Structure 1
Amino acid sequence: MARPRTFDEDAILDRAMLLFWRKGYEATAMSDLVEELGLGRGSIYAAFGDKHQLFVRALTRYLDFQNNLLTTALDAEGPAVAQLRDVLGRLLAADTTCTNAGCFSVNSIAELLPHDEDVARLAQRSLRIAEEAFTRQLERAARDGELSPAITPAEGARLLITLVQGAQIVRKVDPDPARAVALLDSAFTLLTGQPAALAPVPS
């Protein structure tokens, strides 16, 4: 009979996620995981499988957090554009958790695609969820007269996804949070045809 685990699996996944986030997949050795997680190799293999399986589970946990934020923060109440602007600001601010390491998802895509099918599948699913959520929100904005007639909701959603992904790369070079705020303001000026309301700079 196997002995019950004496560790919090979610807490271990969070620590593994932060390690992979800081170092990247290839640069993270099993010895790094053993030291960071405080578990022996045998315990890691028994609970999570090999390094790649652990990485995929950590990335899944990260993306689930992002997807949950989108699905719970965007609703049918309040001005659609202001709500969407707030959510995107929160997504960018959340990625300061790991100092200036950028976005875990974007980093993983840059490092492992197109050859890693598991990561590709996770990334494609996450982008699809985001695009659908943004499109629904911008459709509501269009009905309420908030969206510029020069752009469709689907076009606006793709613009925002590309901008946020690109902003994560740029921020690794220039981590000034004011730059990310200015990028979002510019994007929403294009989407609405109106100057964006000033948003606070994330700390």
Structure 2
Amino acid sequence: MARPRTFDEEAILDRAMVLFWRKGYEATALSDLVAELGLGRGSIYAAFGDKHQLFIRALGRYLDHQTRLLDTALDDAAPVLPRLRDVLGRLLAADAASGNAGCFSVNSIAELLPHDEEVAKLARRNLQYAEEAFTAQLERAAREGELAPAVTPRQGAQLLLNLVQGLQIMRKVDPDPGRAASCLDSAFALLAAGSAAPAATASDRTAMAPTAP
């Protein structure tokens, strides 16, 4: 009879996620996981399979967290463009506050695609979900006269999605939070019908500043 597990699997996944996020997939050795997780090799294999399977579980957990954050942040009662501007600022701030360089998902895509189909599948699912969520919000913005007539909701959603993904890469080179805030402001100025986009507040810009590891 197999012995029951004596550890919190979700807590272990969170610690594995942070380690992979900090070091990257290839640079994380099994010995690193043993030291970080406090589990023997046999326990890791028994609970999660090999290193790649553990990585996929950790990446999936990160993406699920991002999806929940997006779901809870979007409010169908509030004006769309200011709300979306706030949501994207908070998504960037959450990654910056982790103390890790960039976004775990974007880092994983850059490192492992196009050769890792499991990572590609997770990334495609997450990006498609975000695009549909942004499109739905911008459709409401169009109905309520917030969205510039020259921009379709799908085009606006793709613009925002590609911008945020690109900002995650740029922040690895230039972590200045002002760059991200300025780019978001410019994008929302393009999306807004007849008025400037909601600008980032001082607290927003401060929140987006990266935290030292």
TM-score range, shorter chain: over 0.9
CA distance in 2, matches of 1:65, 1:190: 29
Aligned to 2:59: 59
Aligned-residue offset at 1:25: 0.3
CA distance in 2, matches of 1:97, 1:89: 12
Equivalences for 1:152-171 in 2 at 5 Å? 152-171=152-171
Aligned to 2:4: 4
Provide the TM-score with structure 1 as the length reference: 0.97
- Sequence identity percentage: 74
Over aligned residues, Cα RMSD in angstroms?
1.1
Letter in 1 for 2:59: L
CA distance in 2, matches of 1:135, 1:54: 33
CA distance in 2, matches of 1:158, 1:146: 17
CA distance in 2, matches of 1:47, 1:180: 39
CA distance in 2, matches of 1:137, 1:197: 16
Q: Which one scores higher on RCO, CA 8 angstroms, separation ≥ 6?
A: 2
SS at 1:123 equivalent = helix
Aligned to 2:43: 43
CA distance in 2, matches of 1:71, 1:90: 13
Letter in 2 for 1:89: G
Aligned to 2:187: 187
Q: Which runs of 5+ in 2 are unaligned?
A: none
CA distance in 1, matches of 2:198, 2:131: 23
Comparing 25-34 with 78-87, greater Cα deviation is found at 78-87
Q: Matched residue pairs, number?
A: 203
Equivalences for 1:11-160 in 2 at 5 Å? 11-160=11-160
Q: Is the 8 A contact 1:135 1:154 kept in 2?
A: yes
Aligned to 2:199: 198
Aligned-residue offset at 1:100: 4.6
CA distance in 2, matches of 1:11, 1:83: 32
CA distance in 2, matches of 1:21, 1:34: 16
Aligned-residue offset at 1:178: 1.6
Aligned-residue offset at 1:101: 1.0
Letter in 2 for 1:61: R
Q: Is the 8 A contact 2:17 2:62 kept in 1?
A: yes
Q: Which runs of 5+ in 1 are unaligned?
A: none
Aligned-residue offset at 1:6: 1.1
Aligned-residue offset at 1:198: 2.3
Aligned-residue offset at 1:8: 0.8
CA displacement, residues 149-187 of structure 1 (integer Å, 9 cap, x when unaligned): 111000000000000000000000111112111111111
Aligned-residue offset at 1:196: 2.2
CA distance in 1, matches of 2:25, 2:43: 20
CA displacement, residues 50-87 of structure 1 (integer Å, 9 cap, x when unaligned): 00000000000000011111222213111111111111
CA distance in 2, matches of 1:195, 1:20: 40
CA displacement, residues 15-36 of structure 1 (integer Å, 9 cap, x when unaligned): 1000000110000000000001
Aligned-residue offset at 1:197: 2.4
Letter in 2 for 1:195: A
